[in-house]
Chain A
Amino acid sequence: EAGVAQSPRYKIIEKRQSVAFWCNPISGHATLYWYQQILGQGPKLLIQFQNNGVVDDSQLPKDRFSAERLKGVDSTLKIQPAKLEDSAVYLCASSPPKGAATGELFFGEGSRLTVL
């Protein structure tokens, strides 16, 4: 079974530029999460999707961050314009549908963003 795929693995941009990250979850996983992990800290939830609907985006800085999961499969996270403090690893995770879930999340390798 293929794992959670993310791209790009690394991205370096200047502040005020835009960037987009892509995530393809494990096949059949209805729930998809984007986490932000700043160096030296634990991952922090940015947004959670259930199929193509948003479950929780309370910690997403909506003035500059946006995310979509239009067909309920893969997802894109965009930052525009980027700030220095957005330098972090952006982790995508997925979990199985209700009834099959164990509470465990399956994580991708992450996309490391450096904003200069």
Chain B
Amino acid sequence: AQKVTQAQTEISVVEKEDVTLDCVYETRDTTYYLFWYKQPPSGELVFLIRRNSFDEQNEISGRYSWNFQKSTSSFNFTITASQVVDSAVYFCALSRNQAGTALIFGKGTTLSVSS
């Protein structure tokens, strides 16, 4: 069975602090995709990143970075120098390595960034 666990329910930081959102997954598949989505107050899920299980290289995109470690089944997301606009619910998700496969989501982490 596939499962995604986001142990942090809520995180509050002050602007310019760095923050890491944790994600641990379970799957019996040897190949799979991992995702992070952002859900701002408007409600629409916004795609942030997709990582194939073959590719364990860390990725950086501006203030965002992702650390994928197969050995610990983790796919953590770090925001550097957080901003108020980063306040949202962040979801980690998992899917099989097949086109058109549904995503399995974690429960989400609510990030609040205050000025």
Contacts and interface: CB of A to CB of B under 8 A. Distances in A.
Interface string B27-64: 00000010101000011110100100000000000000
* SS of A interface (majority): loop
B41 to A, nearest CB: 12
Contacts, number: 69
A114 B92 CA distance: 26
Nearest to A59: B102
Given A50-B100, A109-B43, A43 B105 contact: yes
B107 A97 contact: no
Contacts of A40: 107-108
B99 interface: yes
Interface residues of B, number: 26
Contacts of A99: 99
Interface residues of A, number: 33
Contacts of B4: 42
B82 interface: no
B115 to A, nearest CB: 25
Contacts of A107: 37, 44-45
Contacts of A55: 100
12 contacts: A42-B93, A42-B107, A42-B108, A43-B45, A45-B103, A93-B45, A102-B50, A103-B99, A105-B47, A105-B103, A110-B43, A110-B44
